[in-house]
Chain A
Amino acid sequence: MAIYTDYVAAAIMFNLQILPDTLITGVILLAIVLANPALVALATGAAGTQLLTSSVGQLIMKMGGISDARPTSSLDMCNSGFISKSWDRLLRGPNAPELLWHPAAPSVFMSTIGFFFGYGLGLLQLYKEEIDAKVVPRASLITTTIIGLLIVIAALTFRIWSGCESILGAVAGVLLGLALGYMGSVTLGYATDRKATNLWGIPLLRDRINNGSPLYICPTDDA
């Protein structure tokens, strides 16, 4: 059991702790090495969600009368920043302590996770025609959506169980992130004729219909 507690459980806990910044960093790195502009839009949206949620939180803190800060270390379970630094602390300086959030302020951590989940749900709406035409298998999308929901629930439970968020703040963060992710994905998709959101790289049926070319053809022997 030592391997489980020392490595497997510790790995899961550590990854949950730094998940938001891991995801944003990962998407930026993948956008560079895969030469994929759709990932740049995703990373920009996630970073924007963090900044917006942080601003809303600070506004609520000013109105609610909480302006205290508390010292944290990089091993603190509540420290969601990438090795102890979040966007907020990056802007406030290297030695700035973690802000004590108002219990009603939406969680920056959960809004980031909610954003990615909402973005994925937006893709299901945007590419409905292609999914209906079985370009992307519906069964695998349903499975990944359910697993994605479980990841959101796991992150929510981790933050509340660690005492890092109030239930209200965590749920508000998820809902805010979900709304921003879904709306951002759908808006960007329709604004760019679904080109800037095509993470799957699938051929768009509408283009082929408009071109008058066959939607799909059977593989030939020489293909």
Chain B
Amino acid sequence: MSGSLVEILGGILNFFPNTMIASLFVIGVMTGRLSWILISLGGIVITILTLTAQYAMSKAIVGLAMPGQHIIETCSILPVAKGGDYTPVPSLWVALSAFFATYIFTNALNVYSQVPVRTNKDSFSVQQRKGVGIISMLAVMVLFFFLLIPRYMTSCETILGVVLGLAIGIGGGYLWWRVLDACGPDVYPDIHGVMIGTQPGLLHTNPIACAKK
């Protein structure tokens, strides 16, 4: 029982970025959450960018790659890839984990800090929204560091790979949130599904009660 549990927790740690991309896409599709699908697409964009950076780094700096199929099976978030080497600089695991953590944190901060326009700031709904924002910010930070520290201790990562991965992930997460926010404020980037209820005027709703001047 305990052996299985350790293996399951190890699997969650190893496949965390893959789990996030696949879950956000599939559950987003099955339940009609467009914002989740867009975030998973952002994860795929970050994957492509990081793999490209890994290829460039492995060509530029000799000795970065870790050879061996057993390394791929242990460290890679895609352990079925045959042949080739595992390149930890920049770290794909760190880049993707930081991407999701930053994105969720940015949106939670937006959920927390939005100033209500039509509602009293002390109302229950506003306090509830702020509560969701602050719990989410704390939870995502705790989870991220809870996963990052054991991951670094697995010997699958290097300091340079972690630093570059953090730079790609944090930058990518914030930029992707900004891009989606520019496309549809409070609707497309809203992974929490909270802001849609605060901005009904943004939606194409029917019936609409407009106050004519």
Residue in B20, B82, B205 whose beta carbon sits within 8 Å of that of A216 in the complex: B205
Is B175 among interface residues, defined by CB-CB distance under 8 A?
no
* One of A82, A140, A222 near B117 (C-beta < 8 A): A222
Which of A57-65, A101-109, A200-208 is the interface stretch? A200-208
Contact B19 A29 (CB under 8 A): yes
A residues in contact with B192, CB < 8 Å? 34-36, 201
B204: nearest chain-A partner, CB-CB? A134
- State in angstroms the CA–CA spacing of A30 and B12 once bound together: 13
Shortest distance from the beta carbon of A27 to any chain B beta carbon, whole Å: 6
Question: What residues of chain A have their CB less than 8 Å away from a CB belonging to chain B?
Answer: 6-7, 10-11, 13-15, 18-19, 22-23, 25-27, 29-30, 32-36, 42, 75, 82-85, 89-91, 93-95, 116-117, 119-120, 123-124, 133-137, 140-141, 144-145, 147-148, 151, 198-203, 214-220, 222-223
Query: Is A135 in contact with B205, judged by CB distance below 8 angstroms?
Result: yes
Taking a contact as CB atoms under 8 Å apart, the answer to whether A199 and B205 are in contact is: no
Contact A144 B8 (CB under 8 A): no
Q: How far is the CA of A141 from the CA of B30 in the complex (A)?
A: 9
Return the contact of A75 from the options B10, B11, B80 (Cβ within 8 A): B80
Is there contact, CB below 8 Å, between A35 and B139?
A: yes
Contact with A along B187-213 (1 / 0, CB 8 A): 000111111110111111111111100
* Contacts beyond the supplied A29-B19, A201-B193, A218-B211: 4 A-B pairs with Cβ under 8 Å: A23-B27, A35-B132, A133-B206, A200-B32
Q: Tell me the bound Cα distance from A214 to B206 in angstroms.
A: 12
- List, in ascending order, chain A residues with CB within 8 A of B70's CB: none
- Cα of A34 to Cα of B103 in the assembled complex, Å: 11
Residues of B30-44 whose CB lies within 8 A of A:
30-34, 37
CB distance from B144 to the nearest CB of A (A): 9
Q: Are the CB atoms of A144 and B23 closer together than 8 Å? A: no
- The residue of chain B having its C-beta at the shortest distance from the C-beta of A17 within the complex is B80
User: A144 contacts B28, CB within 8 Å?
Assistant: yes
Instruction: Please give the distance in Å from B75's CB to the nearest CB on chain A.
Output: 14
Complex A-B: 9 CB contacts under 8 Å: A10-B80, A11-B78, A19-B22, A29-B23, A93-B3, A116-B26, A144-B32, A201-B190, A201-B193
Q: How far is the CB of A108 from chain B (nearest CB, A)?
A: 16
Q: Give every chain B residue within 8 A of A220 (Cβ-Cβ).
A: 117, 201
Q: Are B136 and A116 in contact, with the CB atoms below 8 A?
A: no
Q: In whole angstroms, how far apart are the Cα atoms of A51 and B4 in the complex? A: 17
Q: CB-CB contacts of B76-117 with A at 8 A, as 1s and 0s?
A: 001111111000000000000000000010000000000001
A94, A201, A218 — most chain B CB neighbours (10 Å): A201
A14 in contact with B80 given A30-B23, A34-B104, A218-B211 (CB within 8 Å) = yes
Is A29 within 8 A of B143, CB to CB?
A: yes
Which residue from chain B places its CB closest to the CB of A218 in the assembled complex? B210
Closest 5 CB pairs of A and B: A26-B23, A201-B193, A219-B201, A94-B3, A83-B11
Q: Which of B78, B104, B208 contacts A10 (CB 8 A)?
A: B78
A22 to B: closest C-beta gap in Å: 5
- Interface residue from A15, A137, A144 paired with B29 (Cβ < 8 Å): A144
Q: Are B193 and A6 in contact (CB under 8 A)?
A: no
Residue among B8, B29, B206 making CB contact with A90, cutoff 8 Å:
B8
Note all chain B residues with C-beta closer than 8 A to A141.
Answer: 32
Most buried by B among A84, A123, A203: A203
Contacts of A19 in B (CB 8 A): 22, 26
Of the candidates A32, A90, A123, A217, the one whose C-beta lies within 8 Å of that of B32 is: A123
Separation of A200 and B31 alpha carbons in the complex (Å)? 8
Q: Which of A14, A84, A85, A199 contacts B193 (CB 8 A)?
A: A199
Give per-residue flags for B1-26: 1 if the beta carbon is below 8 A from chain A beta carbons, else 0. 10111011011101110111011101
